[in-house]
Amino acid sequence: MLNLTYNYKLQPTAKQIEIIEHNLDVCKSVWNHALYVRKLWHNSRSCKIDRCSIKHEYIVNMFEYPNYHNQSADLTKAKRGNAFLRSGNAQAMQQTLRKLDRAFNDMKSKNMGFPRYKKKMKSFNLISNKIELNGNYIKMPLLKKVKFRKSRDIPEGFKIKQIQIIKKASGYYANLTIVLNVDVPTPMPKGHTIGIDVGIHSMLATSDGLTIPRPKFLDKALRKIKLLQRKLKKKIISSNKWKRLQHRIALLHEAVANRRKEYHFQLAHQLCKATGTIFVEDINFKSWSKGLFCKQSLDMGLGQFFTVLEHISWKTDTYFAKVDKNYTSQICPNCGTHTGKKELNVRVHKCDECGYECDRDVAASMIIRDRGLNDIAVGTTVIKLPSNGVLSGAKV
């Protein structure tokens, strides 16, 4: 099954905007209450019975774990006596509970943070077989018929599975999830191979010697943002001028995010254009965002770039894999000697054993490329042919 997501900008009427805003408020209330119940259950069972706190402890009635099915049944009961919940879309509220359930599962399986209460809800999902495109209009259950900016056509044969309504500073958008019942083969290693090393001094360096300087998306808009934030501090909270300034700041941040994402897609296409295999480091970018160069790391958006690069690699039939990141800058790519740890101000790799010298990041990208090729070789079965004794590798 092939799943794709197409993004379009909506052009809703004033009445449709009112419906969207109301459903966002309803979904926010459902999320916050469901999260409160889950937290209550979690805190009431966070310690063993013989290790309770001396000062205070949660005492709640015994109830089952509030999973998606239990909370969905409770929502159905609550809607009978609550006009506010009845006024919202049932599917949007159900998908909000499902999204919260996924957040809790990710917290346990992926060791992610605890879900948070929401001051504003920015999106909700609708799943229906009645979503259709007619010219420049989308037909859907909630908004009936809403106009949108048709930037590209949906490929022939795809069916619309669900729609996500998103609120941003620049307006309202729709993410259409389209599906096609085909089997897409996984790309295999082939062609020209490159390794990619990412860093702070330069955004990335490839084993072919290409270095991309660190783009400064936020720095170009930071002066305007700081000036507006100074003005915002002097305004009365929730006044009209305060809201207008907040909207202008949000527009600047959205423009920065759009420029960053566009740059990532262009760079990913450039790297995949004449390449058959790409290897990158398996890095935890969360630790990067908390370190000494957190601002520079977050401005580059390397985690998003790796996600975009993996997606473009799949679309262009380019093999993409991650390798071990340890000691990539301490090993000589020419002779394999361990040269020791380098300080951040040392930008040139020099090997005392073989005399090889090159850019530090380029040398690390060569090590990444070699490690990726070695990982592929480990997964290769060698078969001895009976005719001439030549060894041949067969992928498994």
Burial (Cβ within 10 Å: 0-12, 13-18, ≥19) of residue 341? exposed
Q: Is the model's pLDDT at 100 over the cut of 80?
A: yes
Q: What is the 3-state secondary structure (H, E, C) of 144-156?
A: EEEEEECCCCCCC
Residue 56 pLDDT greater than 90, yes or no: no
Q: What is the pLDDT of residues 346-393, one digit of tens each?
A: 888 888 888 888 989 999 999 999 999 998 876 643 333 333 333 333
Does 339 score more than 90 pLDDT? no
Query: What's the pLDDT tens digit per position in 201-259?
Result: 899 999 999 999 999 999 889 999 999 999 999 999 999 999 999 999 999 999 999 99
Among positive and negative, which fits the CA dihedral 306, 307, 310, 315?
Answer: negative
pLDDT at 394 over 50: no
Q: What is the pLDDT of residue 384?
A: 34
Residue-level pLDDT at 61: 67
Confidence at residue 51, expressed as pLDDT on a 0 to 100 scale: 63
Please give the pLDDT value at position 50: 64
What one-character-per-residue DSSP string does 270-319 give? Answer: HHHTT-SEEEEE---HHHHTTSTTHHHHHHHTHHHHHHHHHHHHHHTT-E
Please state, in angstroms and as integers, the Cα–Cα distance from residue 45 to each residue in 40, 52, 102, 118, following that order: 9, 10, 21, 24
pLDDT of 395 > 60? The answer is no
Residue 371 · residue 321 · CB < 8 Å = no
Which element (helix H / strand E) includes 101? helix 90-109
Q: What pLDDT score was predicted for residue 234?
A: 93
pLDDT for residue 57 is more than 90: no
Give the pLDDT score at 59. 64
pLDDT, residue 197, reads 94
pLDDT score of 55: 65
Q: Tokens 């999830």 — which residue?
A: 177
CB 1 within 8 A of CB 180: yes
Please state the pTM of the whole predicted model.
0.86
Alpha-carbon dihedral sign for residues 59, 63, 65, 68: negative
pLDDT at 47: 65
Please provide the distance, in angstroms rounded to a whole number, between the alpha carbons at the two ends of the chain: 23
pLDDT computed for residue 391 by the predictor: 32
Question: pLDDT at position 347, please?
Answer: 85
